[in-house]
Structure 1
Amino acid sequence: MTGNGVYVYAIIPVGTALPPGAVGVGGPPAALRRVDEGQVTAVVSDAPSRLRARRRDLMAHQDVLLGLADRGSLLPMRFGAVAPDEESVRAQLAGSQDGHLATLSHLDGCVEINLKALPAQDSLAAVVAEEKDVRRLREAVRRRPDYEANVRLGEAVATALSRRAAEAGKKLLRTLTPMAREVAAGPEVHGCSLNVSFLVDRSGSDSFRATVRRFADTHREHAEFRVAGPLPCYSFVSSRPLRTPVAGG
């Protein structure tokens, strides 16, 4: 172990196999190892001397989590979780073992699917046809074009696009919620009308995504839907031990 601390990827049930051939962050990539405590295990590696959010390390972190997720439930750590040493990791595992086991049981057999709804930028014709205020302002610009009229028209179009996307997103959310074990609202994302994650049975993830695709096809003039997943269940793990901030780079 280096003097830079221990990088923590996830907490898993004891006895879960590590992904064969998987390696961790750093250059050269660090070897993975286990830190066992009671009925839970932390998947760790040596932390690099300078940990930054580079694509290489972000992808390595994600690949480890995806490999572990294929083998069972896990509590994923966000990128940049570093503990001072293995004893600190064991102490955290011992102190929170009951909570970790309960969360692992809750997440067993599940994946996370994230959904974002954005305004459909290529639907101007539909907006003009369906939105009276936009149609009125557009006619005013045609009759007497000036800067202020164009600004008002642009604002009206942007407002209509955002509202239509939000309405479509809420409608899809009502459709998808019964298909999920749990739903978690995500942080606000610039340009998005909806950002939400679903805890879905792994066996039903294909059907879930197919439902989104069908809805998106029939509402393409209202919103653009972006789906990510299956993912490790970041949004459904309340405890994020050992997390430390990492600089961008």
Structure 2
Amino acid sequence: MTQQVYTYGIVRAGHRLPRPATGIGAPPERLRLLDVGPLSAVVSGAPAGLLARRRDLLAHQRTLLTLSREGPVLPMRFGSVAPDEETLRRQLADAPDEKLRTLERLDGRVEMNLKALVVEGDLAELLRQDAHLRRLHHESRTRPGYENSVRLGQAVAESLTRRATRAATRTVQQVRGLTEASAPGPTVEGCALNLSFLLPRENESRFRDAVERAAAEHAGRTELRVSGPLPCFSFTEPRRPPAGRARPRPRRAAPAAATSEGRS
């Protein structure tokens, strides 16, 4: 029976494997290189009944981050399984120059993600800042009713989102000089911004520090959350226009304004 092949990522030929050279599975599958010309795929056996368990998701990401310390990696998504080695070799041999250009662009770079989360705020502060909101609030008090309450609630949510968007825009401007490219992430409920950045590895600490300063500036009004370093998934495919953004719902601030999320 032909053994399926699990693929973690594509690297340049000669890329060193981490020690220990193990990946997903229990016990962990052993990593190896599948060489095709100037490129290699980092692969292992594919465990039977593979599911998106937290253990294996983290092992996949940890493998990619460890590989990236030895050179650029074109990462594959979790669950990338080829039916056999020959199929994977054909895929690896397709457009090798394009893959090499992508690896060159990712060399020495990491991905960092920034989210700006809408936070419920002091209504009195919002009323001071928004004349339209003051009018709707006055109408809901003098002519109470369902429609006026709905209009007020919608206006409050929109005002909170605008405030989070302004904080996000200001923060992006502050970190832009540390980055080389950006890519919008998927819509996240309660999130006014979900943006990934490609930046030189040596700028990671400065990027994080800049976001933490911005988080302190906007504490209690917008939650700014930074994650990374991450495998450079957002910068390996052709750019696509962002999907339409749904109106985020307010969310209460976390105890820490800026955090480093779990590497997932």
Cα pair 1:13 1:40 within 8 Å, conserved: yes
Cα 1:4–1:48, aligned 2, differ >3 Å: closer, same or farther?
A: farther
Q: 1:90 deviation in Å? A: 1.9
* Alpha-carbon displacement from aligned partner over 1:191-243 (angstroms, at most 9, x marks no partner): 2111111100000111011111111211235421111111111111027xxxx
> d(CA) in 1 for partners of 2:15 and 2:76?
17
Cα 1:149–1:39, aligned 2, differ >3 Å: closer, same or farther?
A: same
How do 1:1-249 and structure 2 match up within 5 A? 3-238=2-237
Cα 1:109–1:122, aligned 2, differ >3 Å: closer, same or farther?
A: same
Cα pair 2:112 2:229 within 8 Å, conserved: yes
Which stretch shows the higher mean deviation, 140-149 or 5-14? 140-149
Q: 1:122 deviation in Å? A: 3.8
The alignment partner of 2:226 has SS state of strand
Identity of aligned residues (%): 49
Q: 1:46 deviation in Å? A: 0.8
| TM-score normalized by the length of structure 2 | 0.83
The structure showing larger relative contact order (alpha-carbon pairs under 8 Å, at least 6 residues apart) is 1
Q: Which amino acid aligns with 2:12?
A: P
Unmatched 5+ residue regions in structure 1? 240-249
The alignment partner of 2:41 has SS state of strand
Cα 1:48–1:135, aligned 2, differ >3 Å: closer, same or farther?
A: same
> d(CA) in 2 for partners of 1:10 and 1:179?
26
Cα 1:30–1:236, aligned 2, differ >3 Å: closer, same or farther?
A: same
Q: Which amino acid aligns with 2:87?
A: S
Cα 1:124–1:213, aligned 2, differ >3 Å: closer, same or farther?
A: farther
> d(CA) in 2 for partners of 1:192 and 1:51?
31
The alignment partner of 1:10 has SS state of strand
> d(CA) in 1 for partners of 2:154 and 2:124?
16
Q: 1:47 deviation in Å? A: 0.9
Cα pair 1:123 1:221 within 8 Å, conserved: no
* Alpha-carbon displacement from aligned partner over 1:148-206 (angstroms, at most 9, x marks no partner): 33322211111101111122222222332232111112222222111111100000111
Cα pair 2:121 2:221 within 8 Å, conserved: no
Q: 1:121 deviation in Å? A: 2.0
Q: 1:123 deviation in Å? A: 4.5
> d(CA) in 2 for partners of 1:71 and 1:126?
51
Which stretch shows the higher mean deviation, 104-113 or 115-124? 115-124
Aligned length: 238
Which stretch shows the higher mean deviation, 64-73 or 139-148? 139-148
| TM-score normalized by the length of structure 1 | 0.87
